[in-house]
Structure 1
């Protein structure tokens, strides 16, 4: 690990796959160590002390999920899961992200490594600067966060943005309003810090652009739907937006807002080739700004590498809209929210477990006073 060279421990039961990944990372300038089993990985971890671990999801003996859980308890490190991204693999990989993995990448198949190699290198490099999250019991996490929203433990910013008139933002107000969320690396567990805390009568729909392959987003939406009071669904086709719902953009494509027949919809559109990340947050926010006044939009930019969402949310902020950037102390990768802050486009900077409370305070002020403490 000397001289600034990052060390990666590659864990895979396939000798061919270990060699492929090791060669790819070695050519990119990483120092690479390998392990053939979960047991070997756990034994080598304190010796090698890698900056990042790449971990196969499916291995005989100790599988990837079991190995990951032990890594996060015994020797926490940024872990990138390597998955075939099949339907079954998506379930296991999303569980790995809940357990604390930073991100997941597609396993390089024969002849396909050139297509995914750049993404693997970029993900491992971003993971090296990430902070691994120790995952506590989800139920207890939600209970404490709900108590904080309901009580006085919520830190109100010293200089909050001036809110639009109460009549325009209270639940049941006339006109459309949408919460727009951009998120990437570390997103699934971060969304669990936020969406399950929104009440069933939350007045505006939420549209989420989470950078993710197509194989993942239906599973992500289904898992979040089991945790949330709001209905969570994947945007597969034009979906009419209404209060009480969260729309997860379909992976591998982009999502835009459109108005058809007088009704606001989330529409799945082909990925824009000139944009490097999909589903693309900048494209989502730009489409919303074409249809709605800024005071009917709230932009939330969460953990992720790169800068997707920062330009459009900075514009939203400049035009009088409300924006939230996730703070560095909770972001797995601070890139996206940091870029929004640097542009002066973050109205408020909050850790992930405070964001739902801020949304409730902005959009449900009358109900909070009526059911207050």
Structure 2
């Protein structure tokens, strides 16, 4: 029997969530704060943890960090529908939580029972996640020093620094030692399209922050998330990476060194592209593959409108969204990369992309930057 530890400072929430899970055949444990959650994980070794974000004594972020460091476990965050809740959830995802589910009406959600189907679907997806990949991701993340509450590349201090001032310092550094010391020249006007779902934010952050600015790429990111989370994801990436990042607005133009994150609940289409500058449109068209924004929609529009060089990347996530887009980019002459199974918390999206036969390189998360730079270099360097 699959066991779930329900962590929430509200007894009401612990009872309702626990009863839903018990009714669906899960063995349920409960904890009222982060400190007790760490103790319960140590004692019961649950298969899954549902973790509230805001709690007394030890909040969910610190608890995730402790658990993923000491006892790597599948963690699903339960997040309040607020700006602070979104920021905290993204921090928890960066620490190793797999996914999140929004509480429908704040910290104490009296209508949580109405989310029964979504809760069980999220638990089912998390249940299939690879714990080993989470441990590896946490180990890699721990190599980054936390200075003044901001994660930075090793050897770079951000204490008391404003993010805008920090950006210039980050222009000459990356998080990938394999790429930082190489004397490369790159193809002109490259475009990189990154698609991800469950488990994606921390991989996206690592990948984007390791891209050198002299690559001068246009980067489009499609992460399956609701609107209030995609805007906070864009802000987090902008604070931490050398590239300038924003959530996409209808009519935005993107040039080299810039990144657009697809707006939650809207498709992002590249409508026009010329001379290293692209224009995007946002649409309210029906979901594709059951999701909006859809990776396929953006990738297919890139294949139709953007001149080479283009790199399409399929990262961790559940479902088949992105497979058709990867095929379209490959057919248009682009390079395609999929994250490997060993480092993908959920291998659905990469697996479906690989099954098309259109993926050029299957790489672990820590090697994807090298794959991108090799494909966009005027002289290719092969990494063993």
TM-based fold match above 0.5 = yes
8 Å CA contact 1:310–1:339 kept in 2: the answer is yes
Q: CA RMSD in A?
A: 2.7
Q: How does 1:25-36 map to 2 (within 5 A)?
A: 25-36=21-32
Q: Who is 1:196 aligned against? A: 209
Does residue 1:283 correspond to 2:323, yes or no? no
Q: Who is 2:363 aligned against? A: 350
- Give per-residue Cα distances to partners, 1:66-109, cap 9 Å, x unaligned: 22222122222111111113011111111111111111111244
- Give per-residue Cα distances to partners, 1:193-233, cap 9 Å, x unaligned: 21111111223301000111111122211221122221111
Secondary structure, aligned partner of 1:306: coil
Does residue 1:185 correspond to 2:185, yes or no? no
Does residue 1:8 correspond to 2:21, yes or no? no
Q: CA deviation at 1:338?
A: 1.2
Secondary structure, aligned partner of 2:221: strand
8 Å CA contact 2:273–2:306 kept in 1: the answer is no
Closer/same/farther in 2, CA of residues 171 and 315 from structure 1, 3 Å limit: closer
Hey, what's the Cα distance between the residues in 2 that align with 1:78 and 1:344?
Answer: 31
Does residue 1:123 correspond to 2:122, yes or no? yes
Secondary structure, aligned partner of 2:192: strand
8 Å CA contact 2:6–2:28 kept in 1: the answer is yes
Closer/same/farther in 2, CA of residues 260 and 180 from structure 1, 3 Å limit: closer
Alignment counterpart, residue 52 of structure 2, candidates 47, 56, 63:
56
Closer/same/farther in 2, CA of residues 208 and 222 from structure 1, 3 Å limit: same
Hey, what's the Cα distance between the residues in 2 that align with 1:260 and 1:36?
Answer: 53
Q: How does 1:352-367 map to 2 (within 5 A)?
A: 352-365=365-378
Structure 2 residue runs of 5 or longer lacking an equivalent are 145-152, 157-172
Q: How does 1:216-365 map to 2 (within 5 A)?
A: 216-259=229-272, 264-270=278-284, 272-273=286-287, 275-292=289-306, 295-365=308-378
Secondary structure, aligned partner of 1:238: coil
8 Å CA contact 1:106–1:116 kept in 2: the answer is no
Q: CA deviation at 1:249?
A: 0.9
Q: Who is 2:227 aligned against? A: 214
Closer/same/farther in 2, CA of residues 147 and 44 from structure 1, 3 Å limit: closer
8 Å CA contact 1:256–1:287 kept in 2: the answer is yes
Hey, what's the Cα distance between the residues in 2 that align with 1:30 and 1:264?
Answer: 49
Q: CA deviation at 1:286?
A: 1.9
Deviates more, 1:21-30 or 1:256-265: 256-265
- Give per-residue Cα distances to partners, 1:243-281, cap 9 Å, x unaligned: 111111112222111128996212222262454223210
8 Å CA contact 1:201–1:243 kept in 2: the answer is no
Closer/same/farther in 2, CA of residues 114 and 276 from structure 1, 3 Å limit: farther
Aligned residues: 344
Alignment counterpart, residue 70 of structure 1, candidates 62, 66, 72:
66
Hey, what's the Cα distance between the residues in 2 that align with 1:271 and 1:34?
Answer: 41
Q: CA deviation at 1:347?
A: 0.8
Q: How does 1:80-229 map to 2 (within 5 A)?
A: 80-109=76-105, 110=109, 112-113=111-112, 116-130=115-129, 131=131, 132=134, 133-134=137-138, 135-138=141-144, 139-140=153-154, 145-150=175-180, 170-171=187-188, 177-229=190-242
Closer/same/farther in 2, CA of residues 271 and 54 from structure 1, 3 Å limit: farther
Hey, what's the Cα distance between the residues in 1 that align with 2:273 and 2:333?
Answer: 26
Secondary structure, aligned partner of 1:39: helix
